[in-house]
Chain A
Amino acid sequence: MHTKTNILSLPEEELVYPGNRACAGCALGIAYRIGLKALGKNTIIVVPPSCLTVLQGLYPIAATKLPCLNVTFASTAAAATGLLGALKARNRKGINVVGWAGDGGTSDIGLQSLSGACERGDNFLFVCYDNEGYMNTGVQRSGTTPIGALTANTPIKGKLQRKKDVPAIMSAHRIPYVATCSAAYPLDLYDKIKKALTYEGVKYIHIHTPCPPGWGFEPRYAVKIGKLAVETGLYELYEVENSNVRLTGASEKLMEKRRLLPARDYFRAQGRFAILTDSQIEQQQQEVNARWEAYFNTTEDPDEDTPD
Chain B
Amino acid sequence: MQIIESGNVAAALGVKLSRAQVIAAYPITPQTPLTEKLSEIIEAGDMTAEYIPVESEHSALAICIAASSAGARSFTATSANGLLYMHEQLHWASGARLPIVMCVVNRGVGAPWTVWNDHQDSMSQRDTGWIQIYANDHQQIIDSVIKAFALAEEVMIPVMVCYDGYLLSHTYMPFDIPEATLTDSFLPPYRPAYCLDPDEPANLNTVTLSDVRTDINGVKAHGYMEIRHLLQQDMLASMDAIERVDSRFKNIFGRGGSPFIESYRSDDARFIAVGIGSLSYHLRDVVDDLRDEGISVGVMSMQLYRPFPYQAVAKALKDCQGVIVFEKALSYGYQGPVCSDIKSALYHYVGPEGSRPFVLNYILGLGGREILTKDLYEGLKLSCTTKPSSPDKPRWIGLKL
Binding site for B on A (CB under 8 A): 41-44, 46, 53-54, 56-62, 64-72, 74-75, 77-83, 85-90, 95, 112-113, 115-116, 119-120
Contacts and interface: CB of A to CB of B under 8 A. Distances in A.
A86 B71 contact: yes
Contacts of B372: none
A68 B204 contact: yes
A69 B204 contact: yes
B55 to A, nearest CB: 3
Nearest to B196: A67
Contacts of B21: 85-86, 89-90
Contacts of A120: 52-53
A69 B196 CA distance: 8
Q: Which of A46, A75, A87, A113 lies at the interface centre, i.e. has the most chain B CB atoms within 10 A of its CB?
A: A75
B397 to A, nearest CB: 39
A86 B72 contact: yes
Given A86-B66, A88-B50, A58 B59 contact: no
A95 B63 CA distance: 17
A301 B67 CA distance: 53
Contact of A116 (B54, B196, B200, B201): B54
Interface in B137-165: none
Contacts of B58: 72, 74-75, 78, 113
B62 A59 contact: no
Interface string B44-83: 0000111011111011101111111111101000000000
B203 interface: yes
B388 to A, nearest CB: 45
Interface stretch (B213-221, B284-292, B316-324, B358-366): B213-221
Nearest to B203: A62
Contact of B22 (A58, A70, A77, A89): A89
B390 interface: no
A58 B92 contact: no
Interface residues of B, number: 49
A78 B203 contact: no
Contacts of B198: 41-44, 66-67, 95
B196 A85 contact: no
A44 B67 CA distance: 12
Contacts of B68: 82, 86
Contacts of A58: 206-209, 213
B370 interface: no
Given A85-B72, A89-B49, A112 B66 contact: no
B74 to A, nearest CB: 8
Between A42, A46, A85, A113, the greatest number of chain B beta carbons within 10 A of the residue's beta carbon is seen for A85
B54 A53 contact: no
Contact of B67 (A61, A65, A66, A85): A85
Contacts of A81: 52, 54, 59, 63, 66
Given A67-B197, A80-B66, A89-B50, A62 B55 contact: no
A83 B68 CA distance: 8
B63 A70 contact: no
A74 B22 CA distance: 20
Given A46-B66, A80-B66, A81-B63, A113 B56 contact: yes
Contacts of A69: 66, 69-70, 196, 204-205
A60 B221 contact: yes
Contact of B203 (A56, A77, A116, A119): A56
Contact of A72 (B71, B72, B88): B88
**Which of A44, A70, A74, A86 counts the most chain B CB atoms within 10 A?**
A86
B208 A61 contact: no
B203 A72 contact: no
B286 to A, nearest CB: 44
B202 interface: yes
